[in-house]
Amino acid sequence: MKILFRPKQPPTAQHTMKTKMNYPPSELARGASALCIAAVALASPRIAQAGTITGSVADTATGKPLASANVTIPGSAYTTTTSGDGRYTLQDVPDGTYTVTVTYPGFRDSSEVVSVSGDKPAEVNFNAYIATLDYVVVAANRYEATGAQVKAVNTVDVLSAQDLEHTAVHNVAEALELMPGINVMNTGNSFFGGVGGASRGEGMFASVRGMDAAYNVNLINGVEVAQGMPYSREVQLSLLPPSGLQTIVVNKTSTVDMDGDAIGGTVDFRTPTAYDFNQRTHGSLTAGGREESRARDYGDSGLGGSVAGEIAEKFGADNQFGVYASAYWDVRHYANSLVGGVSEVQGDGAWAYAVTNADGSSPSNLDPAKNLITTGFNVGVSSGYTRRYGGNFSLDWHPTENTSLYTRGS
């Protein structure tokens, strides 16, 4: 913008100065634009300032500060936690009125309304009151695996019902193999014992700490299982299915209250009660099928299946009565064969030389290995079926908090 002063005559004290401003058209346009911009700037609203909310949170009953309490402005992203001395700060909060809320576990939520101005921080202090609870319900499993092992005074391993639910074992002997220091065996490793194990294809006996299964004591709910094997203290654990059990506890070392015959260890199979379930009523049903391809090769159907169920109920004014029952049934068909190897044939004398000298020896001009003939061989065949059925039941009565009467059956 150019401003031209053109006085008509030299100014004097007696004359009033008159000025005349001549603007080119382009200069006028630029001047108008500058004036418009200035007007817009004056008309624009002032940008809101940001402030700070600060304060402390303390327990009303004790007066002690509460650390790690959550301080938030609901419906916004402004949130923080108190420090060790109970102090907090919410920064860059725009000017305005807000509701600030404090939450802390075990205490009632507390809220305050505060106005924020950029001039000075707004301070809000909270006194937290402990929440009043009508009652507390604690649910726990009496045979919880981790707790039982930690609290045990001896060497104990526990297999819980949850562990059994995620396995694909056929019987409890195979379930024991999931535990450290346990070896599972079949009927045997000799020729005659091996063919039976090859046909069944399942574990039957459990060895604890590398000792023979005859040195174990097997219990069901603390009661020793009857010995079913002739001339042996072994218990055929393949007769017990993995269903209907709460836990399997293996004591690898004994205490003074245990059976002294447990040289290898004590295996305790514990069945559930109605109080092992959180629900007042519990029920489950499982079913499965199987096909033995080897049995079908020998002309057997090879088909089998299983079904198992359980039900539990707590009743009474205070759930002082509980009943639990389970049942299972399964069947499988098996078949297999085993041909004796070289060691069995030599031991039985089922070989001879095709060409012999007068004394029965092989001629010197013949290779003895090529001069051999078989006069017999051993073949073992095992086939049959296994059918298992049974169940467990439990009756419980809790007349008082410190008294428990029960009966168990299997």
Q: Is residue 40 part of a domain?
A: no
Closest alpha carbon to 287 in 230, 256, 316, 327: 327
Quote the CA–CA distance of 207 and 263 in Å, as a whole number: 11
**This prediction's pTM:** 0.54
Q: Are 171 and 330 in contact (CB under 8 A)?
A: no
CATH number, position 164: 2.170.130.10
CATH number, position 72: 2.60.40.1120
286: its two tokens:
């499982």
What average pLDDT does the structure give for the chain? 78
Closest alpha carbon to 4 in 17, 22, 18, 16: 22
Q: Are 327 and 390 in contact (CB under 8 A)?
A: yes
The whole-number pLDDT of residue 13 equals 40
Domain boundary among 128, 159, 187: 128
In this structure, the answer to whether residues 123 and 186 fall within a common structural domain is: no
In this structure, the answer to whether residues 351 and 332 fall within a common structural domain is: no
User: pLDDT category, 371, cuts 50, 70, 90?
Assistant: confident
In this structure, the answer to whether residues 122 and 152 fall within a common structural domain is: no
The region of weakest confidence among 145-154, 215-224, 369-378, 395-404 is 145-154
Q: Is residue 215 part of a domain?
A: yes
> Which residue did the predictor score with more confidence, 299 or 152?
299
Closest alpha carbon to 251 in 217, 221, 220: 217
Measure the N-to-C terminal CA separation of the chain; round to a whole number of Å: 110
Given strand 265-270, what is the order of strands in its sheet?
156-160, 247-251, 265-270, 216-220, 223-224
What are 239-288's pLDDT values in tens digits?
A: 888 778 888 888 888 887 777 778 888 888 888 899 988 889 999 998 98
In this structure, the answer to whether residues 88 and 198 fall within a common structural domain is: no
Q: Are 274 and 177 in contact (CB under 8 A)?
A: no
351: β partners: 374
CA dihedral (148, 149, 150, 155) positive or negative: positive
Q: How many domains does the chain have?
A: 3
Q: Is residue 216 part of a domain?
A: yes
